[in-house]
Structure 1
Amino acid sequence: MSLFLNLASQGLINGAVYALIAIGLAMVFGLLRILHIAHAGLFALGGYLGLVVTNATGSFALGLAVSMAVVAACGVLMYRLCYEPILEQPPYVPLIASVGMFLAIEELLRLVFGDHGLSYHVPPLAGAIDLGGMRIKYAEIAVVVMACVLLGGLALFATRTRIGMAWRATVSEPRMAASCGVSLRQVRHLNFAIGSAFAAAAGVMVGVLNNLVEPSMGAVPSYKALAIIVLGGLGNMGGTLVAALLLGLVEAFGATYLSNYLDRDSIAFAAMLCVLLVRPEGLFSGTKGSTGLLARKLQLKGAAKWVLTKRPS
């Protein structure tokens, strides 16, 4: 029983990290239909920024906040400079650009910090507690709490605020949202800022869990995140969250019981292939929201007061 609980807790912890990474990918794909491979580079950048600021100031909270803010700004800048000029090009053009940005970030981190990984001078959130025979690190608890807070905050933002409803409407039907007065450009900026901040938070927490950050740290988690958004249904946020938790659990149990057959990092792709053979659209098909209802709720007349709406000409 204790083995089962340990594996289940480890699976949920891994799933929480995967969810933070995958939600950002799902947000970009849902809005722009772009596979944002450069997300892996932002994940690694976030891990480095969190470590550097924490080591310099001794404050983990400050390191996390600075990392999320800076990487969010980098995500918006990446969209403005690299994606926006090529949105009308064939899909493979943004994909190639995204791969190039990922490689550029990875090499930049190598130039600045070197090939070898860095560690925290004093590991934050050190220590652990015993719960019913399970030893859980404070850092692992923090990962789950942070994921719940960030994802819960995103859900409230998307469903309870005017700007959030504008974002949902744009993801669902961009043309109709634009006709109601929503500024697509501002929504895209917001999309990249939130998704990039989530990637940074995940990078910081992975760095804390492993007490190590390195230039290539974003590759494997982001490849798994790609498998997750396929499993959850491309563009489906709820499906992405469920798929992330399921993959975390499958990995934890699979690494124990299937270690003779599959490497831990290959389990995600094996699961993706198995699901796609049965359900090509993923476990939860990508959904189109009721944009007409959202548009009616927005009531965008006089919308110059709102950040994500066009100013009347």
Structure 2
Amino acid sequence: MSLFLNLASQGLINGAVYALIAIGLAMVFGLLRILHIAHAGLFALGGYLGLVVTNATGSFAFGLVVSMVIVAACGVLMYRLCYEPILEQPPYVPLIASVGMFLAIEELLRLVFGDHGLSYHVPPLAGAVDLGGMRIKYAEIAVVVVACMLLGGLALFATRTRVGMAWRASVSEPRMAASCGVSLRQVRYLNFAIGSAFAAAAGVMVGVLNNLVEPSMGAVPSYKALAIIVLGGLGNMGGTLLAALLLGLIEAFGATYFSNYLDRDSIAFAAMLCVLLVRPEGLFSGASGKPGLLARKLQLTGAAKWVLTKRPS
């Protein structure tokens, strides 16, 4: 029983990290139908920024916030300079550009910080607590708390605010949302800012868990995030969250019971292949509401001025 609880807790901790990484990827794909591979580069950049700022100031919370803000700005800039000019091109063109940006970020981090990675001078959130016979690190508790706060805040934003409603409408019915006066350009900026900030938070938390950040730290999360959004049904936000938690549990138990057959990082793709054989559309695919409902509601109630323009872009 103790082993089961330990594996379950470790799986949920890993799932929380995967959810932070994959949710931004799902947001971009849901809005633009682009596989945003460079998202993994922003994840690594966030880890470095969090570590550097924390080492310089001694405040982990400040490092986390600064990392999220800077990486959010970088995500918006990446969209503006690299994606926006090629949105009308075939899907493989943005994909190639995204892979190129990921490699560029990785090499830039290697040039600036070196090949061997960096560690915290004084590891934050050190120590552990005993809960029901399980020894859980403070850093692991912090991962779950940060993930719950960010994902809960995103859910409230998307369902309780007019800006969030406009954002959701532009994902489900972009043409109708645009006809209601929503600026799709600003919605896309918002999309990249939120997704990139979540990637930064994930990078910082992984850096704290391992007490190490390195240029290639985004390589493995990039394909695991891809597996997660496929399992969750491409572009399905709720499905992505559930798939992330499910993958974390599968990895935790699989690495213990099937270590003679598959290593930990192979389990993600093995799970994805098994699901696709049974449900090619993913585990949690399907419409989440009536088509155009959000856009029609937006037209009746009006959206925040921040996302409205006289002429939709």
Kindly state the Cα deviation for residue 284 of structure 1 after the two structures are TM-superposed: 1.0
Q: Distance in 1 between matches of 2:161 and 2:14?
A: 30
Shift of 1:291: 4.6
* Counterpart for residue 192 of structure 1: 192
Q: CA deviation at 1:294?
A: 1.4
Offset of residue 303 of structure 1: 5.7
Does the CA contact (< 8 Å) of 2:39 and 2:102 recur in 1? yes
What do the CA deviations read for 1:70-94 (whole angstroms, capped 9, x no partner)? 0000000000000000000000000
Question: Quick check: 25-34 or 282-291, which moved more?
Answer: 282-291
Name structure 1 gaps, 5 residues minimum.
none
Which position in structure 1 is the counterpart of 2:274? 274
* Distance across 2 between alignment mates of 1:35 and 1:310: 31
Cα separation, partners in 2 of 1:291 and 1:310, compared to 1, 3 Å: farther
1:287 shift after superposition: 2.9
**Partner Cα distance (1:256, 1:304) in 2:** 50
Structure 1 residue 222, shift from structure 2 partner: 1.9
SS at match of 1:129: strand
Alignment partners' CA distance in 2, 1:162 and 1:303 = 5
Q: Name the count of aligned residue pairs.
A: 313
Q: CA deviation at 1:251?
A: 0.1
Distance 1:194 1:243, change over 3 A: same
Deviations 1:131-163 (A, max 9, x none): 111000000000001111100110010011000
Pairwise CA distance, 1:308:
4.6
Q: Partners in 2 of 1:271 and 1:301 — Cα distance? A: 43
Deviation at 1:292, TM superposition (A): 2.8
User: Per-residue displacement from partner, 1:22-66 (whole Å, max 9, x unpaired)?
Assistant: 000000000000000000000000000000000000000110000
Post-superposition Cα deviations, 1:225-265, rounded to whole Å, max 9, x if no partner, equal 10000000000000000000000000000000000000100
Q: Alpha-carbon deviations, 1:266-301, whole Å to 9, x = none?
A: 000000000000000000115364353212322368
**Do 2:139 and 2:208's aligned partners in 1 also have CA atoms closer than 8 Å?**
yes
Is the CA contact 1:177–1:291 (under 8 Å) kept in the aligned structure 2? no
Separation in 2, partners of 1:77, 1:308: 21
Overall identity of the aligned pairs, in %:
94
Partners of 1:308 and 1:25 in 2: CA distance: 25
Residues 262 and 125 of structure 1, relative CA distance in 2, 3 Å threshold: same
Q: Sort the Cα spacing of 1:311 and 1:303 in 2 relative to 1 into closer, same or farther, 3 A.
A: farther
Q: Which moved more, 1:80-89 or 1:171-180?
A: 171-180
Tell me, in whole angstroms, the C-alpha distance in 2 between the residues paired with 1:312 and 1:110.
41
Shift >4 Å, 4+ stretches: 300-304, 308-313
Gaps of 5+ in 2: none
TM-score, with normalisation over the residues of structure 2?
0.97
Distance 1:2 1:239 in 2: 29
Contact 2:24 2:196 in 1 (8 A): yes
Alpha carbons of structure 1 residues 212 and 286: separation in structure 2 relative to 1, 3 Å: farther
What TM-score do the two structures reach when normalised by structure 1?
Answer: 0.97
Distance 1:181 1:272 in 2: 39
Mapped to 1, the partners of 2:64 and 2:118 lie a distance apart of: 16
CA distance in 2, matches of 1:289, 1:195: 23
- Determine whether 1:62 maps to 2:76: no
